[in-house]
Structure 1
Amino acid sequence: MPVVSVGAGGMGRAWLEVLEASPDAELVGLVDLDLDAARRAAADLGRPDLPLGRDAVELARATGARAVVDVTVPAAHHPVTTAALAAGLPVLGEKPAAATLAQALSLVAAAEVTGELFMVSQSRRWNPQVSLLRDAVALLGGAGTLTTEFFRAPRFGGFREEMEHPLLVDMAIHAFDTARHVLGDEPAAVWCTTSNPPWSWYRGDASAAAVVITGGGARYSYTGSWCAPGEETSWNGRWTASCAHGSVRWDGDDEPVVAVAEDAPAEVRAGVDALLAGPRSPFDGIAGALAVFCAALRTGGSPSGEVHENAMSLAVVEAAVASAGSGQVVDLDELLEGARAEAVAAERDERVRERLRAWPGVRAALAAPAPA
């Protein structure tokens, strides 16, 4: 499948390598507002003659591309994806879906009215160890409590160290999305508190503790810091799931450790044994996301990470930020409806605006995408 990639920065270059090696996609063009950066990226890839441009839709038309991979900064996700979908081009985008939940809902509605696929590459979903974690939790009867500990001390420099909530906005979305994936349930309410240790090199709060209450009653607890020198966790965090028939621990780097309760039913023990002895998921990282995206375009299926399904992860991030500011528990339905009102007010495309207004409720719309 011929594709153009948008963005020649650090993550954009990682995607270029994946696209170049993919058996499913053919890189036919590179887009960046900085054409010199695009030329350097193409040359470093060994493709100095790769067609370049500043506009994704124009370059797609010129090269015959049939899809767009959006690896721009979050602020550009909404305009780049909106233009591509309107031009009949499906999009695979880097997280988050958009810079704000309101913009993400606009993209949900745009995907509906155009009938084009917009999938967000939430790369942890394509970690085989996460797949094993999720399957083990399900076999053990589902988790009543799921926890993540995340402690790292990266010195990025640049925009992250100037953000108001760097950990929540730039990193915690990975854990929140993984938690939704593992629990198989959606958030109903979020409470969060943030802080910034005296030794922090971040302007904004780089430490956070959040509790997510799901519709089914499970509790997900996230505790983390981006200014935690000393012993660090994996970039994936350290996970513990407490389930009806046992527990699962995952250090974020190695395979999860499953402990089945002594009084667990025989069929549960047999199921866990079969899972641990069986094959692992063939998908991994952003290459896995690309393979799933291409497969969905071939089959017409709706992949994990499709924007309807993905938008709730960004909603959890915004709920956590709102809760940290107010000190109150944030109701997700109220947050979603507020974001819809904001999206309607800002929307320029009449078809998208009317689709947003027509939803009976945001949660229902995200759970059951309407036909084009």
Structure 2
Amino acid sequence: MTVGAFRTVDHHGPLRAVVVGAGAMGRAWLNTVDASPTVDLVGVVDLDPNAATAALSACGVPPVPVSTSLSALAEATLPDLVVDVTIPSAHYSVTREALDLGLAVLGEKPLAATLAEAIGLVVAAERAGRLFAVSQNRRHSPGLAALRRQVWTLGAVGTVSTEFFRAPRFGGFREEMEHPLLLDMAIHPFDAARYLVGGDPVTVWCEEFNPHWSWYRGDAAATAIFEMTGGVRYLYTGSWCAPGLETSWNGRWRVSGRHGAAVWDGEGEPVVEHAVPVAGAAEAAAESRARGWGSPSPTDIAGSLADFEHALRTGLPPSTVAADNLLSLAMVHGAIASAGTGTRVVIADLLAEAHRDAVDGADEDLRPALRDWRPPTPGGNGGGSGAGT
């Protein structure tokens, strides 16, 4: 996939960051930015300024300016980037405002509340020449990175599967939302599957349901089968109301390839077995042990921040740049559409429909650029089966 050029930073000092959103995840980002030796926190935006001040205090972060207005705070603090940690329904307005101010944006997942809004933001970022990326923090898991190195020793990949079974009682909006599992959680394994095999979604069939004992209003369980580029099949099955023998938050993974299989329990070191000796397999295992465990590389959202900073310094887009992450978000909305219609959904058709909706709903300022934009073609970013033959 072609990613538009974006403006890099023109100074060598620490990047200046404003965090928007002072909730629980906002506090995690405040700690992460504060701990970074190369990024300085210069301000916090929240609808409730007292909440922003309380979050800074609770995190032990030195006081910085707080405001209810991103524009006002940006004028006062001159940041390089915005970290958007607001609720999904606010992602479009916050990100669009930041881009219009000439700021780079690192957002929490999802890109936006709808696929059409996400397309609008991708086009707005390209028009502004600013970097817009998503924090897919699972890509910075040492275990997933180690599994990916093993996958590349398996030859052509046939199937990938994820099992995810947990029973969290969140309370609040998750227990009231529609499609809680698919909308709030499945983006992580869906994006990780793309990362593992270097492929993109082509079609999806999904069934969504709610066990009768569920404490969620919306369907909290789902099974989905994706056809990926290169003929790979990805199977996801999960539930958020599944007490007993729970998987890790990363799920339980299995990858089956031409030369063998690899499994990962989501926490420990992946296990691989080759049917025949494979050149490079021993080296991959050694590299996993050397790099995958106790590695100094930043993990979780600190890894997302480090990738984003590297992109702003070099002009090389991060792997979760928004234009590419559209395909991960399309997996979520494709699964929801399939469950609703009982039919297989073609991802390219879904993106084309969302593009039409984006054009129809756009303001006059953005509509011409949206009309000229073309939805990504699965596999167009150089993806494939992710393995040799």
Structure 1 length as normaliser, TM-score? Answer: 0.94
Describe the SS at the equivalent of 1:169: helix
CA distance in 1, matches of 2:380, 2:168: 35
The answer on whether the counterparts of 2:133 and 2:308 sit within 8 Å (CA) in structure 1 is yes
Among 284, 289, 298, the residue aligned to 1:272:
284
| Cα drift, residue 270 of structure 1 | 3.9
Give the CA RMSD over aligned residues: 1.7
Alignment of 1:92-111 (within 5 A): 92-111=106-125
Q: Gapped runs of 5+ residues in structure 1?
A: none
Q: Do structure 1's residue 23 and structure 2's residue 37 form an aligned pair?
A: yes
Cα-to-partner distance string for 1:62-93 (whole Å, 9 max, x where unaligned): 01211101000001111111111111100111
Among 233, 236, 241, the residue aligned to 1:219:
233
Alignment of 1:267-346 (within 5 A): 267-280=279-292, 282-346=297-361
Q: Gapped runs of 5+ residues in structure 2?
A: 1-14, 383-389
Residue 174 of structure 1 corresponds to which residue in structure 2?
188
Describe the SS at the equivalent of 1:29: strand
CA distance in 1, matches of 2:39, 2:89: 26
Deviates more, 1:276-285 or 1:182-191: 276-285
Which one has more relative contact order, counting CA pairs under 8 Å at least 6 apart?
A: 2
Alignment of 1:1-372 (within 5 A): 1-47=15-61, 49-261=63-275, 263-265=276-278, 267-280=279-292, 282-350=297-365, 352-363=366-377, 367=381
Cα-to-partner distance string for 1:259-316 (whole Å, 9 max, x where unaligned): 122x244x14344344334423613100110011111111111001100111111101
Q: Relative to 1, partners in 2 of residues 1:314 and 1:61: Cα closer, same or farther, differing over 3 Å?
A: same
The answer on whether the counterparts of 1:191 and 1:329 sit within 8 Å (CA) in structure 2 is yes
| Cα drift, residue 360 of structure 1 | 4.2
Q: Relative to 1, partners in 2 of residues 1:273 and 1:286: Cα closer, same or farther, differing over 3 Å?
A: closer
| Cα drift, residue 61 of structure 1 | 1.8
CA distance in 2, matches of 1:97, 1:67: 16
Describe the SS at the equivalent of 2:224: strand
The answer on whether the counterparts of 1:359 and 1:365 sit within 8 Å (CA) in structure 2 is no
Amino acid aligned to 1:87: L
Amino acid aligned to 2:183: V
CA distance in 2, matches of 1:93, 1:13: 14
| Cα drift, residue 336 of structure 1 | 0.2
Query: How many residues are treated as equivalent by the alignment?
Result: 365
Kindly, what percent of the aligned residue pairs are identical? 53
CA distance in 1, matches of 2:237, 2:247: 12
Describe the SS at the equivalent of 1:363: coil
Describe the SS at the equivalent of 1:197: coil
CA distance in 2, matches of 1:163, 1:54: 26
Amino acid aligned to 2:172: G
Structure 2 length as normaliser, TM-score? Answer: 0.90
Amino acid aligned to 1:322: A
Amino acid aligned to 1:57: S
Describe the SS at the equivalent of 1:41: helix
Q: Relative to 1, partners in 2 of residues 1:218 and 1:364: Cα closer, same or farther, differing over 3 Å?
A: closer
Amino acid aligned to 1:329: R
Amino acid aligned to 2:175: E
| Cα drift, residue 141 of structure 1 | 1.4
Would you tell me which structure has more helix in proportion to its own residues? 1
Amino acid aligned to 2:103: L
Amino acid aligned to 2:273: A
CA distance in 2, matches of 1:124, 1:164: 24
| Cα drift, residue 23 of structure 1 | 0.9
Amino acid aligned to 1:279: R
CA distance in 2, matches of 1:363, 1:220: 18
